[in-house]
Amino acid sequence: METLNLFRVTVGAAALGFARRALDEALAFSSNRRLGTGKLAENAVTQAKLADMATAIDASALLIYRAAWQQDVGGTDHRRAAAMAKLTATESAQQVIDAAVQMHGGMGVTKGAKVEELYREIRALRIYEGASEVQRQIIARDLLKEHRA
């Protein structure tokens, strides 16, 4: 089980990297893409989406850092922290990447576009080391165990 916890955190870290790259792509695209007389990045809806993407990325990073720290320190059961980090990072990455694809419009689903590649790649990370549903079970069972104690 300890090995699974270790790899859950690393899978979460990989998803975090994917999400960060998707945000970078969205920032670059929206800053250069013309929309009427301005840029796509000047649009309030685009700005809100970028803010949501950045917030999801930071929340994932904090959970990953905590789980990694708990692993480094040792001595505690960090199964829940690892599951929370993996679940949040992979699910958030899926949302961030989806938003980046949407922002790119038709170019976002064109083979060769970085966001299209990320969209395909993130799916596997949501399955590795236990699918999202498994992570939710681990979290819930640990919460219930803690509550009973």
Q: Which of 121, 129, 133, 146 is catalytic?
A: 129
Whole-angstrom CA distances from 120 to 110, 111, 113, 144, 146 are 12, 11, 11, 35, 37
Which two tokens mark 136?
Answer: 């939710």
Cα dihedral 140, 1, 81, 126 sign: negative
Is residue 133 annotated as part of the catalytic site, yes or no?
no
What distance in Å separates the CA atoms of residue 39 and residue 36, rounded to the nearest whole number?
A: 8
Return the SS3 of 39.
strand
Q: Which residues are catalytic?
A: 129
